[in-house]
Amino acid sequence: MRIDELFAAGPTHSFEFFPPKSDAESVVLERTLNELEPLHPSFISVTYRGGRESRQRTFDLVTRIQREGRLTAMAHLICVGHTRAEIRDILKNYLDAGVENVMALGGDIPDDPALVASEFTHAIDLVELARETGEFSIGVAAHPQGHPRSKDLATDRYYLAKKLELADFAVTQFFFEFEEWSRLVDELGALGVEKPVLPGIMPVTTLTGIERMTAMGARVPESLANRLRAANERGGASAVRGEGIRAAVELSQQLLDAKAPGLHFYTLNRSTATREIHRSLFGV
């Protein structure tokens, strides 16, 4: 199904994966998919880091999932390193394979200088091309704390609103306080945009994760960091993990109570933490 139609039918729950780079990673991902499929996700999302090899891995995984008919899949696309003709061909190939959900992203600047050249300036250019190419349901990224490359929060919200005027929905970077999502939605509403903003969830389950999350563009609030440190003093690594799961459950429940359009879980291709959170929220 189209993801915009899924939102219209009620709250969704979805999972995000990255395509495997090796046979060993393929085994792990296949096991994770099998473990999460009984939770009946509304859709799954497959990332793409750039480069021809990564692009093909994403395409192969998304189209295989779609062909098997087990799950609804959304494919990530990025601007960096692509010509308009290349992206148009990719989009047409997805349409031919029956994939009608795409995530239009700017993309991180790759380490390989040969991959930087692009005929796109911003993600909105990719949204426009997808609209021209076919009847896609199009998602874009939203950053509750602001995109790392944004000049300031007001500028970030302005350009996000422009993207959402053309796209169907947004999926947020993971975050850790309910107010971050509610403020984002309110600020978009003040700009006249009321498209669904799907909150992204990823628990912090280790103390080293505090710094890692911040480096990935989602600062961990001091209140949560203190909870995790206190758990470590009580019971070590296992206690930290349990506290991080509880915090994610609390955040998820706040979002559901506030009528968020759903929950989007960043799995890192593992199912255990996601299944624990899902079970606490939904009993399965």
The full set of domain ranges for the chain reads 3-205+260-279
Instruction: Say which of 5, 16, 135, 276 is annotated catalytic.
Output: 16
- The answer, yes or no, to whether residue 110 has pLDDT greater than 90, is no
- The answer, yes or no, to whether residue 90 has pLDDT greater than 90, is yes
How high is the pLDDT of residue 82?
A: 81
The overall average pLDDT reported for the chain is: 92
- The answer, yes or no, to whether residue 256 has pLDDT greater than 80, is yes
Residues 6+ apart with CB under 8 A from 96: none
For the full predicted model, state whether its pTM sits above 0.75.
yes
How many angstroms separate the CA atoms of 117 and 140, rounded?
Answer: 21
What is the DSSP code (8-state) at residue 150? -
Residues 6+ apart with CB under 8 A from 121: 79
How high is the pLDDT of residue 29?
A: 92
Percent share of the chain, pLDDT over 90 = 78
How high is the pLDDT of residue 108?
A: 58
Per-residue burial over 28-40, b = 16 or more CB atoms within 10 Å of its CB, e = otherwise? ebeebbeebeebe
The angle subtended at Cα 110 by Cα 75 and Cα 137, nearest 5°, is: 20
pLDDT band at 52 (very low <50, low <70, confident <90, very high): confident
How crowded is the C-beta side of 48, counted as CA atoms within 13 Å? 30
Q: What is the dotted CATH code of the domain comprising 3-205+260-279?
A: 3.20.20.220
Percent share of the chain, pLDDT over 70 = 95
Q: Is residue 160 a contact partner of residue 170, using CB atoms and an 8 Å limit?
A: yes
- Average pLDDT on 193-221 reads 94
- The predicted-structure confidence for 112-140, as pLDDT tens digits, reads as follows 555 556 688 789 999 999 999 999 999 99
Helix, strand, or coil here: 140?
strand
Helix (H) or strand (E) holding 54: helix 52-68
Handedness of CA 44, 49, 55, 56 (dihedral sign): negative
What is the DSSP code (8-state) at residue 37? G
Q: What amino acid is encoded at 35 in this protein?
A: E
- The answer, yes or no, to whether residue 78 has pLDDT greater than 80, is yes
How many angstroms separate the CA atoms of 75 and 184, rounded?
Answer: 24
How high is the pLDDT of residue 247?
A: 98
- The answer, yes or no, to whether residue 175 has pLDDT greater than 60, is yes
CA gyration radius, the chain: 18
The string of DSSP letters for 231-276 reads: HHHHHHHHHHHHHHHHHHHHHHHHHHHTT-SEEEEE-TT--HHHHH
How many angstroms separate the CA atoms of 161 and 164, rounded?
Answer: 5
pLDDT band at 227 (very low <50, low <70, confident <90, very high): very high
Q: Is residue 254 a contact partner of residue 5, using CB atoms and an 8 Å limit?
A: no
| Residue 16 annotated to the active site | yes
pLDDT band at 284 (very low <50, low <70, confident <90, very high): confident
